[in-house]
Structure 1
Amino acid sequence: MIADFVKGKQLLQYPPDVQQGVRLHRAIDAYTDHHPATARAKNCLKPAVGAYSAVYTDIIYDHFLANDPEHFTAQSLETFAGGIYETLAAHHDQLPPVFQQVFSYMRQHNWLLHYRERNGIASSFNGITRRAKYQQVPATVPFKAFEDHYDTLKDCYAQFFPDLLRYVKSYLEAPGGAEPSF
């Protein structure tokens, strides 16, 4: 959860299990960015959002994961989200300051649960367009691309996610791999 907010040598300020979690997150990001299904998904979005297609693809994958019956039911996703929020709250003082602010909003609006709903995705897209420095399109533009290419994007997720699970398993089984605590 905090990997995008931990820069450079700041990583060394965290316990080894958190460092491993940040490294795992970064490895997942790199793997995701280079997967052929992700390239296909980004191509669906590039006409609408250009270089920001990777950011939107990550959120779209979260939507499909939240709706993937092999991994979550509505109830199990709610329980999972609650557990994540509790864990983060228990370590609040250790979180990067910018993430502390993001976390407050994330928890208040239950982002993890709302990824399941299309209006939750629309809300996430609104947040991206508000914060994006170099993107000057309203959130309705990427959301329309999401809606127009929904089946293709869902297919990209279905091709990608089993490969990601295998990748993460092998990453964690590698020497020095340890499951992160948050």
Structure 2
Amino acid sequence: MNYLAHAYLSFHQPELITGNLIADYVKGQHQLEQYSPGIQQGIRIHRAIDAFTDQHPVTSQAKTFFRASCGLYSGVFTDVVYDHFLATDTTRFSEDSLYDFAAEVYDVITGQSDTLPADFLRMFSYMKEFNWLFNYRHNDGIERAFRGLSSRAQHLKSSPAIVFAVFLEHYEALRGCYQAFFPELQAYVENLLQNENR
């Protein structure tokens, strides 16, 4: 999953938000142990979310729409698409509440910035400046995200415009994948947290 989903599945708990967002920048047990137990839990939850998502048959179905244009990167683009449908899911966010949630996440991370990985903070500065979490709601925000992904994907053969056209062409089918998948993911994470916190 992408950044909005990881933040959302931290359930407004600051340490979980922090761990969930920095997890890809924390390598090895030594780096993990530098953080508080709550942030470590967020990192573990992030990794569990990614594993559950990657292995889910609905995600496999969603990836098929992008495979011809994205190849091995189909999962990365699917993650961003899931964030779009989470951002537009009216059972979870209104436009105002998404804006407020994004601001909450930025405040949490900014308050911890002295202890977070430098590579993450460089990325986070762009996330906050351009309000990625909120702008996943809009198609032009997704188009910008696709351009950013394409610039970092060295072996991507298709242009971001082609990938974005695939997103638009299969919009309703991809929305259906999100609607089938995300409630299962949320239930999985809630169960993990309940078991860990016993």
Indicate whether the TM-score tops 0.5.
Answer: yes
Residue among 101, 110, 132 paired with 2:131: 110
| AA matched with 2:62 | A
Q: In the alignment, does 2:55 pair up with 1:34?
A: yes
RMSD: 1.1
Residue among 20, 23, 26 paired with 1:6: 26
In structure 2, C-alpha distance between the alignment counterparts of 1:135 and 1:92, rounded to whole Å? 33
**C-alpha displacement at 1:32, in angstroms?**
0.6
DSSP-derived class of the 1:55 partner: helix
8 A contact 2:135–2:142 mirrored in 1: yes
- Paired residues, number: 177
* Offset from partner CA, 1:43-86 (integer Å, 9 cap, x none): 11101100101100110000000000110000000000000000
**C-alpha displacement at 1:7, in angstroms?**
1.2
| AA matched with 2:22 | I
Residue matched to 2:100: 79
| AA matched with 1:17 | G
8 A contact 1:49–1:137 mirrored in 2: yes
DSSP-derived class of the 1:13 partner: coil
Residue matched to 1:163: 184
In structure 1, C-alpha distance between the alignment counterparts of 2:139 and 2:27, rounded to whole Å? 32
**C-alpha displacement at 1:177, in angstroms?**
3.8
Residue among 87, 102, 106 paired with 1:66: 87
The 5-angstrom pairing of residues 71-150 of structure 1 reads 71-150=92-171
In structure 1, C-alpha distance between the alignment counterparts of 2:75 and 2:25, rounded to whole Å? 17
DSSP-derived class of the 1:18 partner: helix
Residue matched to 2:7: none
| TM-score when normalising by structure 1 | 0.94
After the TM superposition, which segments of 4 or more aligned residues of structure 1 sit over 2 Å from their partners? none
| TM-score when normalising by structure 2 | 0.87
In structure 1, C-alpha distance between the alignment counterparts of 2:197 and 2:23, rounded to whole Å? 17
**C-alpha displacement at 1:133, in angstroms?**
2.2
| AA matched with 1:92 | S
**Which ranges of structure 1 fall in alignment gaps of 5 or more residues?**
none
Residue among 41, 63, 72 paired with 1:20: 41
In structure 2, C-alpha distance between the alignment counterparts of 1:57 and 1:94, rounded to whole Å? 31
Residue among 67, 71, 74 paired with 1:46: 67
8 A contact 1:129–1:136 mirrored in 2: no
In structure 2, C-alpha distance between the alignment counterparts of 1:141 and 1:177, rounded to whole Å? 45
